[in-house]
Amino acid sequence: MRTESNSERDADGVLATAVQAGTAGNPSSTASDEHASMPSARTAPDDQDAGPSGGLRTAVTSRFRLPGEDDPSPRTGRLLGLCIWAAALGFLGLIPGGRLAVALAVNLDVPTWYAPTALTIGVLGVAAIAAGFAAIHRYRLPLILFTISTVLLLANITLAYATL
C-alpha cells in the first residue's frame, strides 16, 4: 500500500517529487530533471526497512488490518457464524465474571491471586475474539483465535468453580 503518488524515494528515504512545468511559482526551465526534495514520514509497510522486527511487522500488518476498498466482503455465513460464536462466549463469560463480582461484593474468602488471574484470562480471551474479527479475511486464523478464546473461557470457568 503506497500513499505517495507520482513520487519516489531516494536512497536516504527522502521523498523526491517531480516539479511540474507551468505551475504557479515554478518557471518552466526548472521542470526538466530537477526534483524538489522534502523529508517525509514513511507511511506504508512496503517502505519499512527490513530490520529485525521488519518481518514480524509485515506479518502482523498483513494478517490484522481493516479491510480496504479492494477487499471483498466476508461471506455472510462466515460472519454470522463468528458473531454467534462470539455472542455465546460473551454470555458464558458472565459465569466467571458474575461469580467474581459477587465474591468481591459480599467479601467472600477469595484467594488474592484469583481476581487478577481471572481478569487476565478474560482480557486475553476478549483480545483473541477482537483479533479474530480483525483477521476475518484470513482462512483459518479467525477459527484458531476463537478456539483459543474458547479454551481460555473454559479455563476461567473451571477456575471459578474450583476456587469459589
Banded pLDDT at 164 (limits 50, 70, 90): confident
Whether residue 152 has pLDDT greater than 70? yes
Per-domain residue ranges for the chain? 9-63, 76-163
CB–CB of 159/117 below 8 Å? yes
Grid cell 528515504 is found at: 13
- CA triplet 99, 102, 106: central angle to 5 degrees? 145
pLDDT tens digits, one per residue of 93-106: 999 999 999 999 99
**Most confident listed range (13-22, 28-37, 136-145, 148-157):** 148-157
pLDDT, residue 38, reads 43
